């Protein structure tokens, strides 16, 4: 253990705890101890404090004992002439730093100083972010924000940076965290050597699909400023989230890590040791410190090391190379100017490689031959009309995608052909029809896999920077940005992307891939008709694929990397709770990887068909959950419901007084008749817990004939988030017809009609909801 690091970390922790005490004391005088305090849109209060201490802070006064605990963790700096083992004292001081940092950020929220505005913006009342009454800005030296841009792409709302990540976003990233598409996260603190290096670092992380959090500065200049000046789009959609330009905002990254353990791991607040070990073993994160490291950054780094997250610096600092608290090295110094590379960009790439090596992040990078950056980090990128070169589909043109199985001798692997004109002659912001036909062949390929592979086109095409893809089948909508076109992206590159990705991701069943792109009007029309015939055939095939027509379901244990005791059982009529995997997806996955997370479950002898019990499913539930779950009823919410990890799209919950259930969407932040928001309810539904009356589900399970079939089915739904009613209106109309009540959806309340049980009951009486006449649910 380095005495130098210990000295600076302990000194920084002592200073920050004192600053937090001063700020809290002033806030108590100004606002009063009963003033509400919270981070927005989270059920985990102040998450690091909540996870580490078990304290659910809701008022300013509750922060006093938190800081008392933080002070108890502090130690004097090591003596200069006598060696003592001070690793424990340094880690304690690191934890004190995190508690103090989150306290300061909470106080800033009370004053309206969070999320942090970008330089040049003022908050309401003319208060600037670096208010002299609120201490330093987190540099450790009180330096103000002296240099920056006016905005940071989509990350700024009304002139503000991101601030803490809300629960909705955490859960929406859940499936990507567990299935390997998002292998880990990086917390970058400080300022890069140059703007070009800053962009290269982020692009290398994006290329590897690593979620990146940005914070901190060096002498008032932050990597956030650098990226803004280069026009890099920041925000959730690009996996690059700017927390703030001071070091303290890095606490949001540790809060994210804490909530990961609480959300997906089934751990409880106050289980600090378990939460830290969970992160060490399951959350692959690291800290990249850019530029000068001051006392506060050393202290914050000690806090991160508690979580098992190593620190890599691009400057000369002492190292801590033995393993123990982290999987490999604790602190690594890799001075940027000493990195072996022909230029700064190559050095930046090697710095990222070193970070990945030290944390042990497992990265899969597909080699896609396109002239733009490529990776899952670009999947949510939006191409606005002003930035658009050309579009296919949407309001003014048509686009479709059609993947079909062919014989091996009929497919020329790697052949990419464009039939018709390219977009070079189109005016700026023009539009044209385009059809993408993908022929695949393979000895293990099956006809049933066609729609599974075809749905991947959305993800594969969206991975290209500057390309936006929405929809599927014959409602696809694709845009190419000016920036992508200027770099040479053309229609052939759609084919190159699909050829590379289908081989990389589905190589076990796909031996050959050929892509033809049709823009010729006559050919487009002919192939669109063929595609629609295929879509109709598949729809009829899927409609006939019911639970009673198969003799095996499939397991899905992807989420066990985060929720060790949770098991998902996927049937033709019940897709996975994340919404990402249906029965055919799992069947294809098993063919691709026979030892992977999707294994066939032989149903064997039925025990209770109405409730959904089979010997095979019960046996798997017990084995897969390590004995935690003994039985699972596939079609009931009241008796042994299926468990959930935390990736679910919706929560279904019993409302006893209404003799029915409510369905809350992940996107819904409003209050529900249960007296809880989605984020609070998720703590009951997730973590691999089996709770009768509560269930996390994929939203399309709601329209299945087997939706809580043994409890009365869809007619039991008495309240549903308006987001679901509107986004699934066509599908829900079909369900209402199936249930024999065409007006049923109008009888279901939402947050606009009721947020209490009393209001809900009044609504049901007024609209004559059928649940009022049904048998009691229990």
| pLDDT band per the 50, 70, 90 thresholds, residue 118 | low
pLDDT at position 613, please? Answer: 97
| pLDDT band per the 50, 70, 90 thresholds, residue 179 | low
Q: Does pLDDT of 155 surpass 50?
A: no
pLDDT at position 148, please? Answer: 29
Report which of 318, 252, 258 is spatially closest to residue 116, judged by C-alpha positions. 252
CA distance linking residue 604 with residue 607, whole number of Å: 9
Least confident of 272-276, 599-603, 661-665, 684-688: 684-688
Tokens standing for 589? 């996955």
CA distance linking residue 608 with residue 592, whole number of Å: 33
What is the C-alpha radius of gyration for the chain, rounded to an integer number of angstroms?
A: 27
CA distance linking residue 227 with residue 149, whole number of Å: 9
Give me the sign of the Cα torsion angle 735, 741, 744, 745. Answer: positive
Instruction: Sort 69 into a burial class: Cβ within 10 Å, 0-12 / 13-18 / 19+.
Output: middle
Mind listing the pLDDT tens digit for each residue in 38-87?
998 888 999 999 999 999 999 999 999 999 999 999 999 888 776 666 78
For residues 146 and 223, the model is more confident at: 223
364-369 mean pLDDT: 78
Judge whether 420 and 492 are in contact, CB under 8 Å.
Answer: no
CA distance linking residue 72 with residue 473, whole number of Å: 61
**Cis omega (within 30 of 0) for bond into 115:** yes
Q: What is the reported pTM?
A: 0.74
pLDDT at position 650, please? Answer: 93
CA distance linking residue 168 with residue 182, whole number of Å: 17
> Which alpha helices (H) appear in 85-186, and where do they start and end?
87-110, 167-172, 174-178
Mind listing the pLDDT tens digit for each residue in 187-207?
999 999 999 999 999 999 988
pLDDT at position 136, please? Answer: 39
Q: How many CA atoms lie within 13 A of 170 on its CB side?
A: 29
Tokens standing for 520? 């010729």
Report which of 498, 499, 507 is spatially closest to residue 593, judged by C-alpha positions. 507
| pLDDT band per the 50, 70, 90 thresholds, residue 593 | confident
> Strand 606-608 relative to strand 613-614: parallel, antiparallel, unpaired?
antiparallel
Residue 134 is given by DSSP the state G
Q: Does pLDDT of 691 surpass 60?
A: yes
Helix 63-72 to helix 3-31 angle (10° resolution) is 160
Instruction: Sort 494 into a burial class: Cβ within 10 Å, 0-12 / 13-18 / 19+.
Output: buried
Element (H, E) at 264: helix 251-264
Question: Looking at 168-262, which runs of residues are DSSP E strands?
Answer: 185-190, 211-215, 240-244
Mind listing the pLDDT tens digit for each residue in 324-341?
898 888 999 999 988 888
| pLDDT band per the 50, 70, 90 thresholds, residue 481 | very high
| Percentage of the chain modeled with pLDDT above 70 | 93
Mean pLDDT across the chain: 89
3-state secondary structure of 401: strand
Burial track 503-533 (b if 16+ CB lie within 10 A, e otherwise):
bebbebbbbbbbbbbbbeeeebeebbeebee
Q: How far apart are the first and last CA of the chain?
A: 60
Name the most confidently modeled range: 130-134, 143-147, 225-229, 682-686: 225-229
pLDDT at position 151, please? Answer: 31
CA distance linking residue 660 with residue 769, whole number of Å: 10
- Which residues fall within 8 angstroms of residue 38, CB to CB, at 6 or more apart? 45, 46, 58, 106, 109
Report which of 446, 404, 731, 701 is spatially closest to residue 535, judged by C-alpha positions. 404
Mind listing the pLDDT tens digit for each residue in 700-722?
999 999 999 999 999 999 999 99
Report which of 252, 185, 236 is spatially closest to residue 47, judged by C-alpha positions. 252
Mind listing the pLDDT tens digit for each residue in 657-667?
999 999 999 88
pLDDT at position 134, please? Answer: 38
């Amino acid at each position: 253990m380095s005495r130098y690091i210990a000295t600076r970390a302990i000194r920084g922790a002592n200073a920050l705890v004192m600053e937090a005490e001063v700020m809290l004391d002033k806030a108590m005088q100004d606002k009063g101890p009963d003033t509400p305090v919270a981070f927005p849109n989270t059920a985990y209060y102040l998450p690091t404090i909540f996870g580490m201490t078990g304290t659910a802070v809701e008022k300013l006064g509750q922060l006093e004992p938190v800081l008392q605990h933080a002070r108890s963790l502090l130690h004097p700096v090591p003596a200069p002439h006598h060696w003592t083992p001070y690793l424990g004292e340094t880690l304690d001081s690191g934890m004190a730093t995190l508690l103090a940092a989150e306290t300061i950020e909470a106080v800033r929220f009370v004053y309206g100083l969070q999320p942090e505005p970008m330089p040049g913006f003022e908050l309401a009342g003319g208060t600037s972010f670096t208010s002299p009454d609120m201490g330093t800005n987190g540099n450790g030296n009180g330096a103000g924000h002296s240099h920056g841009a006016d905005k940071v792409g989509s990350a700024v709302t009304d002139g503000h940076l991101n601030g803490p990540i809300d629960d909705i976003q955490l859960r929406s990233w859940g499936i990507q965290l567990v299935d390997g598409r998002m292998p880990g996260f990086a917390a970058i603190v400080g300022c890069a050597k140059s703007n070009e290096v800053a962009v290269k670092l982020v692009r290398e992380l994006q290329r590897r699909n690593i979620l990146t959090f940005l914070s901190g500065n060096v002498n008032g200049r932050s990597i956030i400023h650098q990226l803004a000046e280069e026009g890099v789009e920041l925000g959730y959609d690009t996996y690059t989230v700017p927390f703030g330009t001071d070091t303290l905002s890095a606490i949001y990254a540790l809060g994210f890590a804490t909530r990961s353990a609480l959300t997906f791991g089934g751990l409880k607040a106050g289980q600090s040791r378990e939460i830290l070990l969970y992160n060490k073993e399951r959350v692959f994160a690291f800290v990249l410190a850019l530029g000068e490291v001051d006392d506060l950054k050393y202290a914050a780094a000690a806090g991160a090391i508690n979580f098992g997250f190593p620190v890599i610096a691009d400057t000369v600092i002492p190292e801590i190379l033995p393993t123990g608290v982290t999987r490999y090295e604790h602190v690594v110094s890799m001075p940027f100017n000493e990195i072996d590379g022909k230029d700064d960009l190559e050095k930046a790439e090697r710095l990222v490689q070193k970070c990945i090596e030290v944390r042990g992040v497992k990265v899969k990078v597909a080699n896609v031959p396109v002239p733009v950056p490529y990776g899952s980090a670009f999947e949510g990128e939006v191409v606005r009309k002003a930035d658009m070169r050309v579009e296919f589909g949407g309001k003014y043109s048509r686009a479709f995608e059609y993947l079909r199985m062919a014989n091996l001798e009929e497919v020329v692997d790697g052949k990419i052909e464009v039939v018709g004109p390219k977009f070079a002659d189109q005016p700026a912001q023009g539009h044209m029809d385009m059809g993408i036909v993908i022929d695949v062949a393979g000895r293990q390929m099956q006809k049933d896999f066609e729609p599974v592979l075809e749905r991947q086109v959305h993800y594969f095409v969206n991975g290209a920077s500057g390309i936006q893809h929405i929809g599927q089948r014959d409602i696809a909508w694709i845009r190419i940005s000016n920036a992508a076109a200027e770099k040479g992206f053309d229609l052939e590159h759609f084919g190159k992307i699909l050829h590379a990705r289908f081989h990389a991701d589905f190589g076990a069943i796909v031996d050959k891939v050929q892509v033809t792109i049709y823009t010729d009007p006559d050919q487009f029309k002919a192939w669109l008709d063929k595609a629609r015939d295929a879509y109709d055939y598949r729809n009829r095939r899927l409609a006939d694929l019911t639970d009673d027509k198969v003799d095996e379901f499939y397991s899905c244990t992807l989420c066990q990397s985060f929720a060790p005791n949770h098991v998902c059982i996927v049937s033709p009529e019940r897709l996975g709770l994340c919404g990402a995997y249906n029965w055919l997806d799992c069947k294809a996955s098993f063919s691709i990887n026979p030892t992977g997370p999707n294994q066939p479950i032989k149903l064997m002898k039925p025990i209770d068909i109405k409730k959904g019990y089979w010997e095979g499913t019960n046996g798997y539930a017990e084995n897969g959950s390590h004995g935690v779950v003994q039985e699972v009823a596939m079609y009931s919410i009241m008796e042994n419901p299926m468990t959930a990890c935390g990736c679910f799209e919706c929560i279904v919950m019993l409302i006893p007084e209404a003799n029915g259930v409510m369905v809350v969407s992940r996107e819904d932040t409003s209050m529900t008749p249960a007296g809880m928001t989605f984020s609070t309810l998720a703590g009951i539904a997730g973590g691999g817990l089996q709770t009768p009356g509560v269930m996390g589900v994929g939203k399309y399970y709601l329209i299945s004939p087997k939706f809580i079939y043994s409890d009365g089915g869809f007619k039991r739904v008495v309240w549903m988030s308006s987001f679901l009613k509107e986004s699934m209106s066509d599908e829900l109309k079909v369900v209402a017809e199936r249930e024999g009540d065409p007006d049923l959806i109008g009888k279901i309340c939402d947050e606009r009609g009721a947020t209490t049980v009393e209001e809900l009951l009044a609504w049901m009486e007024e609209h004559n909801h059928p649940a009022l006449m049904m048998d009691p649910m229990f």
